[in-house]
Amino acid sequence: MLTTIQYNSRKLKIDLSQPLDISIPITGEASNVNAWYIGHPKIEPEVIDGNSISVAKGAVVNFNTINFNPHAHGTHTETVGHITEKVYSINKYLTQFFFIAEVVTVAPEKLGKDYVISKKQLQFALGNKKREAVVIRTMPNTREKMSRQYSNTNPTYLLEDAAEYLKTKGVKHLLIDLPSVDKEQDGGELLSHNAFWNTSGKLRLDATITEFIYVSNKIEDGTYLLNLQIAPIENDASPSKPILYKVIA
């Protein structure tokens, strides 16, 4: 279903029948992707007066309670409220949901004992392109990312100058297939979070970071229309479902 839409001053041709989901779902299994030293999510029937509210157990409905942490258990989108004393709710500060996005693939560089994404790499990947959103896929890119247990593994992260570069370039929405844009253990500095949200100056309240995405190898680098969907939760972060649509013309 080819559709032409007017987006700002541009006319974009996209195929709404071919959405590209880059989210990782939350399951109640131990194999659920995980980080930050907590257990896996739980999705279980509520028990009321000793009765399990599940059709399989004789109830007339399924009535599951879900226990999870958005930062640890799947694709999530966060505001600057993630790192500030004042809580800035994603449900209040993400008020637009469609953006022109560029998908880029980066092979992390070795830096001491770490693997990192540098400013130079992003400059090469983006060139002169001006985009509202940037989607970063790291190599190697396997489906193991859908279930990896990241705690105490020192995953790849974004260098501060790379985050600063994206901010200076006007990127409002950063999406990445890692548990964090910062180093797992950095003494609480959170250099890339702070740089991207400009916490030393005027806060970028309308900027977001989305972590724990998975970009299939079938999705080519290039320009897409991004639909950044969140759950309406008043919190610094929400589970999210970013969807890409290839821009045909």
Contact 41, 33 (CB under 8 A): no
**Structural domain contains residue 157:** yes
Cα–Cα distance measured from residue 120 to residue 228, given in angstroms and rounded to the nearest whole number: 27
* CATH number for position 226: 3.50.30.50
* pLDDT for 249: 65
Residue 182, domain member (yes or no): yes
Mean per-residue pLDDT, 102-116: 98
Q: Are 77 and 210 in contact (CB under 8 A)?
A: yes
Other C-beta atoms lying within 10 Å of the C-beta of residue 10: 9
Residue 153 in any domain: the answer is yes
**Which stretches within the chain are classed as H helix?**
90-93, 119-126, 160-168, 191-197
The string of pLDDT tens digits covering residues 12-39 is 889 889 999 999 999 999 999 999 999 9
> Is 60 inside any structural domain?
no
Q: Rounded mean pLDDT of the chain?
A: 96
Rounded-to-integer distance, Cα 169 and Cα 132, Å: 9
| Model confidence, pTM | 0.96
168 close to 145: Cβ distance less than 8 angstroms: no
DSSP conformation class of 137 = E
pLDDT tens, 187-217? 999 999 999 999 999 999 999 999 999 999 9
Rounded-to-integer distance, Cα 207 and Cα 179, Å: 18
* 14 found inside a domain: no
As a whole number of angstroms, the distance between CA 61 and CA 205 comes to 41
Q: How far apart are CA 227 and CA 75, in angstroms?
A: 14
97 in a domain, yes or no?
yes
Residue 49 lies in a domain: no
Instruction: Please count the structural domains in the chain.
Output: 1
Which structural domain, as residue segments, surrounds residue 231?
A: 20-38+70-246
pLDDT at 2 over 80: no
Q: Is residue 209 part of a domain?
A: yes
